[in-house]
Structure 1
Amino acid sequence: MTREDISFQTSDDITLRGWFYTPSSPPSTPLPCLILSHGFSALKEMDLSTFASHFTTHLPLTCLVYDNRNFGSSDNHASSPRQEIIPSQQCSDISDAITYVQGREDVDAEKVGIWGSSYSGGHVLWVGAVDRRVKVVLSQVPCVSGWDNFHRLIRPDFIPGLNQMFQGDRLARAAGKTAGMIPVVDPNPLATSALPTPESYTFFMDWEKKCDWKNEVTVKTTRIEEFRAYDPAAHIHHISPTPLLLTVAENDTLTPTDLALAAYARALEPKELHILPGGHFGGYSGPNFEKNAGRQVDFLKKTLCA
């Protein structure tokens, strides 16, 4: 496996940076490509490289991983703050990543798949439905409904206070002030944070020691018109006839298991479901990684790499 530093432009002229992986002994003909996007605030170093290495080692396949706009090594507009997540922009960026790899001589432009996890697990459901260039969709522990997910994570008695915070942030930004920020995670599950679960805190704090991940996102990231209004599985039934593999954690409290299973039930064939033991982050590393990535390799072998 070899890795190349790459960059590409989005449709609104933002530079996104990442890595392009190829097998150690690639054939002379162009190969299929799988584009991997990370979840809420995460960077490409946070296990995406592990998946890309695994796929290119076990398959005749190339992989593109990159940092989302406003995060890591990727850029942001001068008028847009760092650490801000706008789902529609991230979905558009996935389509721009497809355009980039289709322009490479070492990629088979007719065999491009997309892989997403958690927040981007929802993104790939949306992009796979509306961008017909996509030939396979792999969605891992996805956020399938921003509204339902928000109201599962946040206690009802906390919501009025959050709505006040959202209003204050709107007024401040309209007045030209710096965007308000909140932590992604906090050791106290009752404190204000974007992902208020103990396993989220453990996962992200472990990575904070290893890479340049920052424990903050803008308040706008979690406002109603961004997170709560985002409905990535609305068109899941339109992914067909593109093959879909949905990976769901058996005890997922961050992107709840039952919501993902209900979305899967609405998808049309061809589709496959893989239920992993454990919680939301169990498939990224540890004993579940081989089980998770191995199933994804099998799926890619008979679809994208057939």
Structure 2
Amino acid sequence: MPREDIAFQTSDNVTLRGWFFTPEAPSTTPLPCLVISHGFTAVKEMLLDVIATRFTSSLPISCLVYDHRGFGSSDTLPSAPRQEIIPALQCSDISDAITYAQSREDVNKGKIAIWGTALSGGHALRVGAVDRRVKAVLSQVPVVNGWENALRLSQPGSAAVLNHLFQEDRLARAAGKPAGIIPVVETNPLAPSALSLPEAHQWLGKFGKNTSWKNEVTIRTMEEFRGYDPSAHIHRISPTPLLITVAEDDVLMPVDLALVAYAKALEPKELQIVPGAHFGVFGPAFEATIERQIDFLKRTLYA
């Protein structure tokens, strides 16, 4: 599929970089656009090209793929550290990506959808609730409640350790020292890391190889994650159509939390449950997942 390197500015003047995919056959009219963003610390080379290509080869649609600020090929503010996730800023950047898409003559400004996975699956819920330009929301194995999610992922007794890390990092940064970092994944289950499950280590290690992905994230990211609750807004997505995909054995972004959030959403909404664990949506469950997402877009953007 044709792919163009792109760059656009956020509302606070950060340059984000990515790709713009279009179907093989040129279109004489502006096409709908799907804005695609990756999950926790992942960069666009970690299968987002495969996903965008699948959408553009199956539908008359364009796909805007980009790296989050401070990750991959995207910049961040001069005063901000790289490898740091502030959910509110990432959500704002999705809206800025929509604005960039709307500025293009080859995009149908009234037919823009958003796609997110894991952490950005939570962002899709948040942005879909507050940005009324969004005409369809696709949220895959999402983070829906950071506090509960963090509790599930934490080791016994780790709360006090984390609280101490948060305090010391804030004091250090206030004193002008560099932001503290921890590994995203760690083979030692007793060592501090953001994602302690072996499946996360395996997937990120496999698909992050030979990319710009780094096995580090700021300590503040973990404090921000714990306070993030996109499910608080899920009932406000309506009347925008919503599709949530969950994996029945997901313990990284626990499936029961996602089901509770889905129950709070208003119509029109759809739930897809696929077999397997969290990263199965990029593996054994990929075909079932993306075919349902393609069908969902057919029925919502082209009606």
Structure 1 runs (4+) greater than 6 angstroms displaced: none
1:124 — aligned with what?
A: 124
Aligned runs of 1:154-193 on 2, under 5 Å? Answer: 154-193=154-193
In the TM superposition, residue 142 of structure 1 has moved relative to its aligned partner by: 0.1
1:266 — aligned with what?
A: 264
Distance in structure 2 (CA, Å) of the matches to 1:280 and 1:255: 7
Q: Point out where structure 1 has 5 or more consecutive residues left out of the alignment.
A: none
Identity in percent: 65
1:94 — aligned with what?
A: 94
Contact 1:60 1:305 in 2 (8 A): no
1:248 — aligned with what?
A: 246
1:41 — aligned with what?
A: 41
In the TM superposition, residue 210 of structure 1 has moved relative to its aligned partner by: 2.9
Select which of 273, 276, 282 maps to 1:275: 273
* Alignment deviations for residues 252-299 of structure 1 (CA, whole Å, 9 cap, x no partner): 0110000001100110111110101000000113x3211111111110
* Alignment deviations for residues 170-222 of structure 1 (CA, whole Å, 9 cap, x no partner): 11000000111100001122221001111001011112323121000011100
Distance in structure 1 (CA, Å) of the matches to 2:250 and 2:302: 30
Contact 1:5 1:18 in 2 (8 A): yes
Contact 2:138 2:242 in 1 (8 A): yes
Q: 1:113 aligned to 2:110?
A: no
SS at match of 1:54: helix
In the TM superposition, residue 25 of structure 1 has moved relative to its aligned partner by: 0.6
* TM-score, normalization by structure 1: 0.98
2:302 — aligned with what?
A: 305
1:148 — aligned with what?
A: 148
Distance in structure 1 (CA, Å) of the matches to 2:162 and 2:227: 15
Select which of 214, 231, 234 maps to 1:233: 231
2:288 — aligned with what?
A: 291
In the TM superposition, residue 304 of structure 1 has moved relative to its aligned partner by: 1.4
Distance in structure 2 (CA, Å) of the matches to 1:48 and 1:208: 12
1:6 — aligned with what?
A: 6
2:16 — aligned with what?
A: 16
Q: 1:201 aligned to 2:198?
A: no
Distance in structure 2 (CA, Å) of the matches to 1:129 and 1:272: 16
- Alignment-mate amino acid for residue 279 of structure 2: F
Q: What RMSD, in angstroms, separates the aligned Cα atoms of the two structures?
A: 0.8
* Alignment deviations for residues 200-247 of structure 1 (CA, whole Å, 9 cap, x no partner): 010111123231210000111001xx1111111101011011000000
Aligned runs of 1:58-77 on 2, under 5 Å? Answer: 58-77=58-77
* Alignment deviations for residues 67-91 of structure 1 (CA, whole Å, 9 cap, x no partner): 0000000001110001000000000
* TM-score, normalization by structure 2: 0.99
More displaced stretch, 207-216 vs 258-267? 207-216
In the TM superposition, residue 158 of structure 1 has moved relative to its aligned partner by: 1.1
SS at match of 2:12: coil
Q: Point out where structure 2 has 5 or more consecutive residues left out of the alignment.
A: none
Distance in structure 1 (CA, Å) of the matches to 2:39 and 2:241: 22
SS at match of 2:249: coil
1:210 — aligned with what?
A: 210
SS at match of 1:283: helix
Distance in structure 1 (CA, Å) of the matches to 2:53 and 2:116: 16
Contact 1:37 1:65 in 2 (8 A): yes
* Alignment deviations for residues 94-142 of structure 1 (CA, whole Å, 9 cap, x no partner): 0000000001000000000000000000001000000000000000000
In the TM superposition, residue 26 of structure 1 has moved relative to its aligned partner by: 2.7
Contact 2:42 2:208 in 1 (8 A): no
